[in-house]
Structure 1
Amino acid sequence: MEKISVFMDDYRSPPDGYVFVETIDECIELLRKFDIEHLSLDHDLISKTRNGTMLVQMMIDEKLFANRITIHSANSVAGKGMYNHFKQAQKDLIMPPTIIVSLRPLPLKFIPPRVLQHYMDVM
């Protein structure tokens, strides 16, 4: 199965080499069809009801994971909630403990080069 990295956001542009998706439906489709090396997730999307938290719950329910997951949402409360859902799934042995989950909020306007290094380490 082909390995890809995915960046889900409706505002920011993805780092080079990432497949860009704007909705949770697009993201779930890729999780079902590909081996995802790195998945970077935003919370607040165009749809106010179909957001990152809903995606995380779908991923846990269907056991669809990536090798590495980053929550990059600037929404600190929702981003931390997404992170905590993944960590709880690991504690509950639903999600493998080998999956690295990171909480690294990205600013909306400018992404400093040192922050992008987190994404370049995947390549």
Structure 2
Amino acid sequence: MEKISVFLDDYRKAPDGYVLAETMDECISLLYSFDIEHLSLDHDLLHKTRNGFMLVQLMIKEKLFAKRITIHSANSVGGKAMYNLLKQAQRDLILSDSTIVSLRPLPLHFFPANVMKHYLEVI
């Protein structure tokens, strides 16, 4: 299966080397179709109820994961909820401990170089 990295966001552009998914449904399709190296998730999407939190719930239910998952949402409450749900899945042995889960909020209008370094790291 082909390996890709996915950036879920309906507002920001994807970093170089990432496939942009603008909706939860696009992201789900990619999770089913590809081996995901790095999945970077936003919480707030155009469709208010089909957001990043709902995606994480579905990922856990269907056991659809990436090797590395980053929550980049600027929504601090929603982003922390997504992060906590993934960490709970690790404690419950649903998500492997080898999966790196990180919370790294990105600003909406500007990507500082040191923040983008996280997207260039190969783990």
Task: Report the CA distance between 1:121 and its aligned residue.
Answer: 0.9
Runs of 4+ deviating beyond 3 Å: none
- The correspondence of residues 97-112 of structure 1 with structure 2, limited to 5 A, is 97-112=97-112
User: CA separation in 2, counterparts of 1:93 and 1:11?
Assistant: 33
Unaligned runs of 5+ in 2: none
User: Under a length normalisation based on structure 1, what TM-score does the superposition of the two structures give?
Assistant: 0.98
Task: Report the CA distance between 1:122 and its aligned residue.
Answer: 3.4
Are 1:37 and 1:122, in contact at CA under 8 Å, matched by a contact in 2?
A: no
Q: What residue is the counterpart of 1:4 in the other structure?
A: 4
User: Under a length normalisation based on structure 2, what TM-score does the superposition of the two structures give?
Assistant: 0.98
Are 1:40 and 1:70, in contact at CA under 8 Å, matched by a contact in 2?
A: yes
Deviations 1:56-106 (A, max 9, x none): 000000000000000000000000000000000000001111000000000
**SS where residue 26 of structure 2 aligns?**
helix
Q: What residue is the counterpart of 1:29 in the other structure?
A: 29
- The correspondence of residues 31-50 of structure 1 with structure 2, limited to 5 A, is 31-50=31-50
User: CA separation in 2, counterparts of 1:28 and 1:12?
Assistant: 19
How many residue pairs are counted as aligned between the two chains? 123
